[in-house]
Structure 1
Amino acid sequence: MSDISELSGHLIVSLHNEVEDYFANTITLIIEHSKSGAFGLVINKPLNIKFKDFLETARSTDAPQIEVLETGPVERDRLFLLHTNDYGNEQSHKINQYVSLSGYSEKILASDGMPTHIVAGFGYAGWGPGQLENELISNIWLVVPFLSEIIFEIPHEDKCNIAARSMGIDLNLLSKETGHG
């Protein structure tokens, strides 16, 4: 497992799969992780809405087709754009060499400057100081090194299993119980 003190840019797969749990069967990209807490985006909860419906200036048929995700339970009205690093500006936050996070701007959606891959998301996942570390110790999450194809190319229903398999783990063989007995 990676050093639990620095997980920025890593993926975490939920091993806690109770139906009523928001994070059941999710995979989250950790954007920031420090002593003061962690911030991440869930990357496999699609919403049945079209991104262009949110854009006042993009009601035409040539508006970009951008997938919209529910990226977390906190501030669900806050919009994030997760995209490849072939687009960037001073407001983009580079997560690693492959992917960045931006807020909405018309410029990012311009056809001449649009990133190769982009997803939109509402909300984020947040952890207070030591909270994510405690959840990792309790075996609630599996830490997986960053894989760009997981974010942009793999079907949502397969993301958790493929990420776990990249670590040699078959999620179907794990106990449904978490924590220490």
Structure 2
Amino acid sequence: MTSDSPSIYLPGSLQGHFLISMPHMDDPNFAQTVIYICEHNESGAMGIVVNRPIEMDLGQLLQHLEFSYNSDLNDLIYAGGPVQNDRGFILHRHTANQWESCYDVTDELTLTTSLDILQAISEHSGPEQFLVALGYAGWGPGQLEQELSDNVWLSCPANLDIMFRTPAEERLQAAAATMGINLDLLTSQSGHA
């Protein structure tokens, strides 16, 4: 999109929203995913897939990082996206603590990328609600807007109960249900009138 063309696809930023993949999504990185959008502006967008757990759990990650940990830390770790999938991203509710590298996504949620938060989690002094992901999803300028106009994604305001309390395998349908949509009833074929 050029700067003189009106923004017909995106009236505002989708930061703090969910992207829900449409049933016809065939990209294996994003099929059947819910993505939490952490940043969205004229430079592009960045988000974390919040419903695709990987084989490693938090206790294993903390052990790999040589942090002391309690064996009850078996929280899931998520495949956050195909970009920098060797790097950790922690989405969490705001806390009084300030971590070395954090970014306030909304008034309620922060994205932290520094190891100090994992150390605090291992010592049970971190945030109560958090989601750990490896990697992220990224879009260049105008790319997400084009995908939205091509009916690749649905978007809705994020629901933190879905992200933090709903089992991973139920998050896709739960996010769609906040808009009154049953994804099982949508066709897997996309079309335009």
Instruction: Calculate the TM-score normalised by the size of structure 2.
Output: 0.83
Cα deviation digits, residues 46-98 of structure 1 (max 9, x gap): 01112232333335545744321100011110111111113541522111122
Distance (whole Å) between structure 2 residues aligned to residue 40 and residue 173 of structure 1:
26
Q: Check if 1:81 corresponds to 2:90.
A: yes
Partners in 2 of 1:42 and 1:4 — Cα distance? Answer: 23
Corresponding position of 1:92: 102
Count of residue correspondences: 180
The answer to whether the Cα contact below 8 Å between 1:87 and 1:113 also exists between their aligned partners in 2 is no
Shift of 1:20: 5.1
- Counterpart mapping for 1:1-181 below 5 A: 3-18=10-25, 21-55=28-62, 56-62=65-71, 64-86=73-95, 88-89=97-98, 91-106=101-116, 107-109=119-121, 111=123, 113-180=125-192
Whether the 8 Å contact between 1:33 and 1:39 is mirrored in structure 2 is yes
- Mean Cα deviation higher: 92-101 or 142-151: 92-101
Shift of 1:138: 0.9
- Residue identity opposite 1:152 in structure 2: F
Between the two proteins, what is the percent identity of the paired residues?
33
Residues 25-50 of structure 1: CA deviation (Å, up to 9, x unaligned) = 10000000011100000000001112
Distance change in 2, residues 1:110/1:132 (3 Å): same
Q: Which ranges in structure 2 are unaligned for 5 or more consecutive residues?
A: 1-8
Unaligned residue ranges in structure 1 (runs of 5+) = none
Q: Secondary structure at the match of 1:47?
A: strand
Alignment RMSD: 2.2
Cα deviations across residues 142-181 of structure 1 (Å, max 9, x unaligned)?
A: 1111100111111111111111111111111111112526
| Structure 2 contact 48–81 (Cα < 8 Å) conserved | yes
Q: Secondary structure at the match of 2:91?
A: strand
Q: Cα 1:87–1:175, aligned 2, differ >3 Å: closer, same or farther?
A: farther
